[in-house]
Structure 1
Amino acid sequence: MTADIYDVDKRLEAARARLSSLEQGGLLLRFLDHLESLGLSRSRVLKYANHLSKMFRHVAFDPSAATKQDIECVVAWINRQPYREWTKHGLKTALRKLVQYAKYGSCDEKTPLPPEVAWIPMKVDERDSRVKPEILLTSEDVKAMINAAENERDKALISVLFEAALRPGELLTMKVGSVEFKDNYCLISVCGKTGVKRIPLVVSHRLLLDWLMKHPSRNDPNAPLWISLSNNSKSEAMSYYYFRKLVKRLAEKAGLRREVWPYLFRHSSLTALAKILTESKLELYAGWVHGSKMARRYVHFSARDLEETVLEIHGLKEAKQSDGIMRPVECPRCKQMNAPDNVRCEFCGYILDRSLAMKIEEEQHMRNEDVIKMLEEAFKRLDRLENIVRSILSKA
């Protein structure tokens, strides 16, 4: 990815400034330079810088002269913190690499680990995860957020984020030319960790088309696809920080009573897809290298819909389409495909939402009853008027 949507350069400079004020600042800055010389990305170096800043604010030690007892004190501090397991793993990795560099002058793959840090356990408890099954987004949640969106850009953005299971960086670096429209679907090209990947989208097809019809630079294939709509930064690429706030705001507006963050869309979509795709196809869709442990993690997380399968076998539940997958809705009248959030068919106006149709039918029935009552009252008044006229005529 070429665009720095996370402001990595600016944040890395700020992290280096914080480290330079520490007692071991000189060593820490040289260590970061060494990491970059080994080919680590600046975003990866930033993670090391943040871990070291966090560590040295609370634990003072000299990495060059550290004993095993010193390292035990640091690891004990890490284990006491209320961090997630992967955060603790990152802190321990930074500690091992730093001491390796401080004692041997390098932390490349050929350099052995010093005995002072070689003993540190690096196994991660996979049960510790921010993403629990009960907080995953459903297709209904996503539809509610699309309905809550106020413009074509936001509707398309939320739909693509979920259907394509994109990382935030993959989504926000898309260009106008990243979308290729076909008859009833479109292909998007995104630059991920394993290179460029092309993903077919069906549900988001119409929403993307609607957004590009409004896009001020729709004829420029190199223009950012997701742009700012504010007057101050109009047509500039949407920032990650605005994107994160937008997701949170739409979730609240849609009535979702739990935390929603950009990466949750990817977790939710891949968990749903893991029920129906093979591991190799899931790897292609998600942009993982072949044989990645990530695919197995999502397959295990979804359990291949084991509960529903067993219930279906024993006739306790009818077979149904996989939960969590958004699908276009076919209009029963004109047979055209509509976006899943459409209340009415955009081609013939037929009501697609059954609850809305029932509500309108009920209101129509009530209006008809009111009209009938009004007519009955009118006829009664006419009868009374007719009787009055007859009475007058009979007396004349």
Structure 2
Amino acid sequence: MPVKLSTTISNIQTIPNENNQKLVNEFYKFMKSSSTSDKYQNNNLKTIIAFGRFLEPTISFQTITKRDQIIAFLDTKIKNSQVDPDKRWITTWNDYLGRIKYFFRWLHNTKNSGGLLSSNRYDEDIYIPIAEWKTPSFLKIDKKKTKRLSPYLESELWEKEDVLTIVKYDNYKRNKAALTLLWDLDARPHEVTLLKIKHIRLKEKYGEGEIPYEAKTGTGPILLTCSFPYVRDWLNEHPFKNEPSARLICNIQSGSPITPEALWTVMKQLQKRIVRLLNEGSIKDTQEIEKMEFLLRTKKWNPYCIRHSAITADSDYLPEYALKKKVRWSMNSRQGSRYIKTRMGNELKNKILEHNGIISEEIQKTKPLISNCPRCTLVNILENKYCSKCSYPLTSEAFDEIKQSEKRRFEELENVYSKKISDLTTDMENKLAQMLSIIQQNPSLAHVKPEILEKVKRSINKKEIVT
């Protein structure tokens, strides 16, 4: 789980040089006044704090003028091929370089000759607009090139069916809604936690809405497909479901907003829960056990991997302009290359396999991700055996359960009926035996009508009871 911004701010005092501590605090105030996101501030501060710790206590940020001083720190992120065979360290190296450049550009363009921070944007002698910032020559360091565009391996990416498989093991409808929204919206964690009830409009079989403008890339249209039944079911239990301005994904008890980091906790807790269920033997189906073990072993259990996987899956069937609109990128963004170039795509892969006779068209048919009730047409989540509205069976297992239940019911009725018939037969045989016994004792009664004989029998029984 990421370190909180408050924790990072408290770590500023761990920088050995006191002047550097002051500069980092001023840098934080600048970022805060620029309305940057908490995550952006947090990541920049963590990088500069690490750099400050790396420097000798006597070296101030203001005295750094050589590329070698920065490169020496960046090279501490290099790992050998045994530890990091995929060379992921290059991504870290380049990321740290970008953040250090930003810090020193701020330092060299916002400090006056006296070394004081200028916050007066109307003072022409001191203030320099960000658009006019100049980059010091010692910051002209090239990024390291890598052929690895994606931060995740192909085997680490999720499929939509995988996400829908794991969410059924979460106990809370809120968490199910949040995780499926990450996929449906190609969303960053904060885009999900920013959503309010008024941002979602549920139709009969799908939902639509928009991301709040406060998000990193601003507002944009969204469509709820596989997440639709999960969001609908969660809204029925939402503590403030009648308040349009309430957060959609909120604290279950109080309804208060939750942080984006909470979604990391949700995924980690779900991962631990599935491990516990496997260890306890609560999951019985052999294929399900194998699938869960595979997902635990190979996938990255974090919200950003869900987003990356969803965008990669969307790139299989959406043209680039449509992908940018769905993911809320600008039209001149080059982010799409990270998802398109490195992936063959299911459609192309299936065409090749079909051409070589490995699969047929029947095998290519995709499994439904939601279940429509044939009786009331309600859209149900896939794991529902019965319709949540009219209780109509939706799966073959549900029909089998109904048949078994009816079979047990008929067997119980048959047993009760057989017992009653047996008791009645025994009672009649006993009465007949009594009548024959009376006739044998009194032969004259053989010519008496049965009705009179029955009266005599009852009177005899009464006398026996009295005596």
SS at match of 1:91: helix
Residue 143 of structure 2 corresponds to residue 121 of structure 1 = yes
Amino acid across the alignment from 1:126: R
Alpha carbons of 1:132 and 1:175: their partners in 2 closer, same or farther (altered >3 Å)? same
Residue 78 of structure 2 corresponds to residue 54 of structure 1 = no
| CA offsets 1:289-308 (integer angstroms, 9 cap, x no match) | 11322222212243222322
Alpha carbons of 1:67 and 1:136: their partners in 2 closer, same or farther (altered >3 Å)? closer
Q: 2:306 aligns with which of 256, 262, 265?
A: 265
Give me the TM-score of the superposition, normalised by structure 2: 0.66
SS at match of 1:200: strand
Alpha carbons of 1:253 and 1:314: their partners in 2 closer, same or farther (altered >3 Å)? same
SS at match of 1:144: helix
Amino acid across the alignment from 1:249: Q
Q: 2:338 aligns with which of 297, 310, 314?
A: 297
Q: 2:370 aligns with which of 328, 353, 364?
A: 328
SS at match of 2:387: coil
C-alpha contact (below 8 Å) 2:176/2:230 kept by paired residues? yes
C-alpha contact (below 8 Å) 1:145/1:158 kept by paired residues? no
SS at match of 2:344: helix
Deviation at 1:283, TM superposition (A): 0.9
Residue 338 of structure 2 corresponds to residue 318 of structure 1 = no
| CA offsets 1:241-275 (integer angstroms, 9 cap, x no match) | 43321222223334545341111221122222111
In the alignment, the residues of structure 2 paired with residue 166 and residue 273 of structure 1 have an alpha-carbon distance, to the nearest angstrom, of 13
SS at match of 1:46: helix
Deviation at 1:172, TM superposition (A): 0.4
Residue 184 of structure 2 corresponds to residue 163 of structure 1 = yes
In the alignment, the residues of structure 2 paired with residue 338 and residue 58 of structure 1 have an alpha-carbon distance, to the nearest angstrom, of 55
Which residues of structure 1 form unaligned runs of 5+? 379-384, 386-396
Amino acid across the alignment from 2:171: E
In the alignment, the residues of structure 1 paired with residue 396 and residue 153 of structure 2 have an alpha-carbon distance, to the nearest angstrom, of 32
Amino acid across the alignment from 2:271: A
Alpha carbons of 1:322 and 1:276: their partners in 2 closer, same or farther (altered >3 Å)? farther
C-alpha contact (below 8 Å) 1:19/1:28 kept by paired residues? no
Which residues of structure 2 form unaligned runs of 5+? 112-129, 276-291, 420-425, 427-467
In the alignment, the residues of structure 2 paired with residue 36 and residue 254 of structure 1 have an alpha-carbon distance, to the nearest angstrom, of 40
Q: 1:346 aligns with which of 388, 403, 408?
A: 388
The equivalent residue for 1:193 is: 216
Deviation at 1:170, TM superposition (A): 0.5
Residue 193 of structure 2 corresponds to residue 172 of structure 1 = yes
Deviation at 1:208, TM superposition (A): 1.9
Deviation at 1:51, TM superposition (A): 0.4
Residue 246 of structure 2 corresponds to residue 217 of structure 1 = no
Amino acid across the alignment from 1:51: T
The equivalent residue for 1:79 is: 78
SS at match of 2:208: strand
Residue 99 of structure 2 corresponds to residue 94 of structure 1 = yes
C-alpha contact (below 8 Å) 1:280/1:290 kept by paired residues? yes
Deviation at 1:12, TM superposition (A): 5.8
C-alpha contact (below 8 Å) 1:92/1:122 kept by paired residues? no
Deviation at 1:193, TM superposition (A): 2.7
Moved more, 299-308 or 275-284: 299-308
Larger Rg computed on CA atoms: 2
Amino acid across the alignment from 1:90: D
Amino acid across the alignment from 2:262: Y
In the alignment, the residues of structure 1 paired with residue 190 and residue 390 of structure 2 have an alpha-carbon distance, to the nearest angstrom, of 38
How many residue pairs align between the two structures?
A: 377
SS at match of 1:218: coil
C-alpha contact (below 8 Å) 1:84/1:128 kept by paired residues? no
Alpha carbons of 1:93 and 1:322: their partners in 2 closer, same or farther (altered >3 Å)? farther
Give me the TM-score of the superposition, normalised by structure 1: 0.76
The equivalent residue for 1:307 is: 349
SS at match of 1:183: coil
Moved more, 327-336 or 43-52: 327-336
C-alpha contact (below 8 Å) 2:385/2:397 kept by paired residues? no
Deviation at 1:150, TM superposition (A): 1.9
C-alpha contact (below 8 Å) 1:199/1:285 kept by paired residues? yes
Deviation at 1:160, TM superposition (A): 1.9
Residue 160 of structure 2 corresponds to residue 139 of structure 1 = yes
C-alpha contact (below 8 Å) 2:150/2:339 kept by paired residues? no
In the alignment, the residues of structure 1 paired with residue 33 and residue 379 of structure 2 have an alpha-carbon distance, to the nearest angstrom, of 53
Amino acid across the alignment from 1:53: I
In the alignment, the residues of structure 1 paired with residue 79 and residue 132 of structure 2 have an alpha-carbon distance, to the nearest angstrom, of 30
Deviation at 1:121, TM superposition (A): 3.3
Moved more, 283-292 or 352-361: 352-361
Alpha carbons of 1:210 and 1:72: their partners in 2 closer, same or farther (altered >3 Å)? closer
In the alignment, the residues of structure 2 paired with residue 183 and residue 302 of structure 1 have an alpha-carbon distance, to the nearest angstrom, of 35
C-alpha contact (below 8 Å) 1:85/1:128 kept by paired residues? no
Amino acid across the alignment from 2:351: T
Alpha carbons of 1:200 and 1:28: their partners in 2 closer, same or farther (altered >3 Å)? closer
Deviation at 1:37, TM superposition (A): 6.9
Alpha carbons of 1:59 and 1:150: their partners in 2 closer, same or farther (altered >3 Å)? same
Q: 2:20 aligns with which of 24, 40, 44?
A: 24
Amino acid across the alignment from 1:86: T
SS at match of 1:302: coil
Alpha carbons of 1:360 and 1:296: their partners in 2 closer, same or farther (altered >3 Å)? farther
Alpha carbons of 1:39 and 1:199: their partners in 2 closer, same or farther (altered >3 Å)? closer
C-alpha contact (below 8 Å) 2:28/2:45 kept by paired residues? yes
C-alpha contact (below 8 Å) 1:20/1:26 kept by paired residues? no
Moved more, 206-215 or 174-183: 206-215
Amino acid across the alignment from 2:340: V
The equivalent residue for 1:392 is: none
> Equivalent pairs: percent with the same residue?
20
C-alpha contact (below 8 Å) 2:94/2:144 kept by paired residues? yes
SS at match of 2:341: helix
Moved more, 281-290 or 354-363: 354-363
Amino acid across the alignment from 2:78: N
In the alignment, the residues of structure 2 paired with residue 296 and residue 215 of structure 1 have an alpha-carbon distance, to the nearest angstrom, of 39
| CA offsets 1:23-48 (integer angstroms, 9 cap, x no match) | 63344445555666777555434322
Q: 2:318 aligns with which of 277, 296, 320?
A: 277
In the alignment, the residues of structure 2 paired with residue 238 and residue 296 of structure 1 have an alpha-carbon distance, to the nearest angstrom, of 33
